[in-house]
């Protein structure tokens, strides 16, 4: 059975032609974009502040995390980074594979002594200023693996920690709260007192 | 599912060729003499009808008096399996023959047993530590470790 054509090819082409001609007729004048207010606004936009405030603001609102996810807490970090919890609100959605481009190490997982030199090296390769969040029980103290012969009992044995986020694993809300605490910590640093 | 072959039946079959090799046969396992492990393994791999060409895993157990190394074999062709066990009574210097020459998959697992239980595998092409670092004292999977 053949389907009846409502329009012939000829009719379709004519309809298209009419549409284009009407659009041309309507588009003879440039749509205005008034920008007179821009100059005036720029004049009002001069801000006076301290170097500390600007520097701390810049540092805390674009923390770029470094890959350091040896174990399962990494999945909670991924959830935190993904759309539901969305850490791109804090300017930190770009997780860097190179430690030289990162500011923040989120240590998400159990660390073994065999892996420890690599984590130390990644930390050393990060440029100052840099911060570390110990995420989860293993990162804080070795967790349930603390008494094992091969597990580092807490990252603070090898690198300095700024914020501890407890949990096994911590919920994304907890990690987010830890990040907010780190923001507060960063906003209290001063160039005259040194970063650390 | 993979069918587990009867240990007694295989023991009878092996007994014709290697009369001294089998110490004990279980429901789906064979306890072998360490010195005849290699020839029996080779026989199990190459005999038509058995064709144990695949090694699922090797593991080892510390029973205080002896170490027992367990080999889980499978035949992909016939979809049947068998467990071999070998005991090692020397705790000071435990040594067993390596089966890497027969199943290449044994390579890393023999190294792991060497690393964590301290059993040497003679004839292994590259018997080094695999999990722990050089200089680690003791063997963590031995009962006396903790």
pLDDT tens-place string over residues B23-59: 888 888 899 999 999 999 999 999 998 899 999 999 9
- Assigned domain for A131 exists: yes
CA distance B16 to chain A (A): 48
- Assigned domain for A9 exists: no
- Assigned domain for B128 exists: no
Question: Dihedrals φ, ψ of B10, to 5°?
Answer: -65, -40
- Assigned domain for A142 exists: yes
Report d(CA A178, CA A71) in Å as an integer: 19
pLDDT at B45: 92
- Assigned domain for B119 exists: no
CB-based contact B145 A149, cutoff 8 Å:
yes
Residue B6 burial by CB count (10 A; 0-12/13-18/19+): exposed, middle or buried? middle
DSSP string, A20-41: HHHHHHHTSSPPP---HHHHHH
> What number of other Cβ atoms are within 10 A of residue A55's Cβ?
17
CB-based contact B133 A114, cutoff 8 Å:
yes
- Assigned domain for B11 exists: yes
pTM tops 0.80: no
pLDDT at A76: 92
Over residues B114-135, the mean pLDDT reads: 91
For the segment B69-109, what is each residue's pLDDT rounded down to a tens digit? 999 999 999 999 999 999 999 988 999 999 999 999 999 99
The number of domains in chain A is 1
Residues with Cβ < 8 Å from A158, sequence gap 6 or more? A111, A116, A119, A120, A123, A152
Report d(CA A64, CA A81) in Å as an integer: 12
- Assigned domain for A44 exists: no
Tallying the residues shown for chain B, one arrives at 146
Domain range enclosing B58: 3-95
pLDDT < 70 positions in chain A: 1-6, 37, 40-43, 193-196
Domain range enclosing A173: 52-195
- Assigned domain for A56 exists: yes
pLDDT at B114: 94
- Assigned domain for A150 exists: yes
What's the token pair of residue B20? Answer: 């001294």
B133 to chain A: closest CA residue: A114
The number of domains in chain B is 1
CA distance B62 to chain A (A): 18
CATH code for position A89: 3.40.50.12280
- Assigned domain for A77 exists: yes
CATH code for position B61: 3.30.460.80
Q: B141 at the A interface (CB within 8 A)?
A: no
- Assigned domain for A152 exists: yes
């Amino acid at each position: 059975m053949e389907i009846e054509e409502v329009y012939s090819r000829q009719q379709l082409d004519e309809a298209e032609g009419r549409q284009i001609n009407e659009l041309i007729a309507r588009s003879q004048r440039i749509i205005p974009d008034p920008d007179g207010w821009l100059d005036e606004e720029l004049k009002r936009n001069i801000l006076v502040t301290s170097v500390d405030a600007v520097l701390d603001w810049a540092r805390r609102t674009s923390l770029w995390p470094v890959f350091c996810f040896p174990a399962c807490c990494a999945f909670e970090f991924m959830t935190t980074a993904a759309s539901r919890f969305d850490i791109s609100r804090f300017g930190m959605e770009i997780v860097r594979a190179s430690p030289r481009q990162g500011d923040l190490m989120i240590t998400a997982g159990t660390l073994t002594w065999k892996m420890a030199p690599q984590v130390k090296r990644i930390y050393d390769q990060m440029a100052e200023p840099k911060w570390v969040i110990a995420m989860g029980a293993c990162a804080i103290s070795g967790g349930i693996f603390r008494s094992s012969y091969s597990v580092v009992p807490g990252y603070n044995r090898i690198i300095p920690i700024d914020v501890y986020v407890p949990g096994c694993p911590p919920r994304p809300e907890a990690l987010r709260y830890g990040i907010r605490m780190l923001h507060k910590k960063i906003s209290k640093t001063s160039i005259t007192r040194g970063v650390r | 599912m993979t069918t587990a072959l009867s240990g007694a039946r295989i023991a009878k079959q092996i007994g014709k060729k290697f009369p001294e090799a089998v110490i004990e046969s279980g429901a789906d396992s064979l306890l072998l003499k360490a010195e005849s492990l290699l020839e029996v393994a080779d026989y199990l791999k190459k005999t038509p009808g058995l064709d144990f060409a695949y090694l699922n895993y090797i593991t080892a157990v510390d029973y205080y008096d002896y170490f027992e190394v367990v080999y889980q074999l499978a035949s992909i062709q016939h979809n049947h399996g068998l467990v071999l066990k070998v005991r090692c009574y020397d705790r000071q210097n435990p040594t067993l023959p390596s089966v890497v020459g027969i199943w290449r998959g044994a390579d890393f697992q023999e190294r792991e047993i060497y690393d964590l239980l301290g059993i040497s595998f003679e004839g292994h092409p590259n018997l080094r530590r695999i999990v722990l670092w050089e200089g680690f004292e003791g063997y963590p999977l031995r009962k006396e470790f903790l």
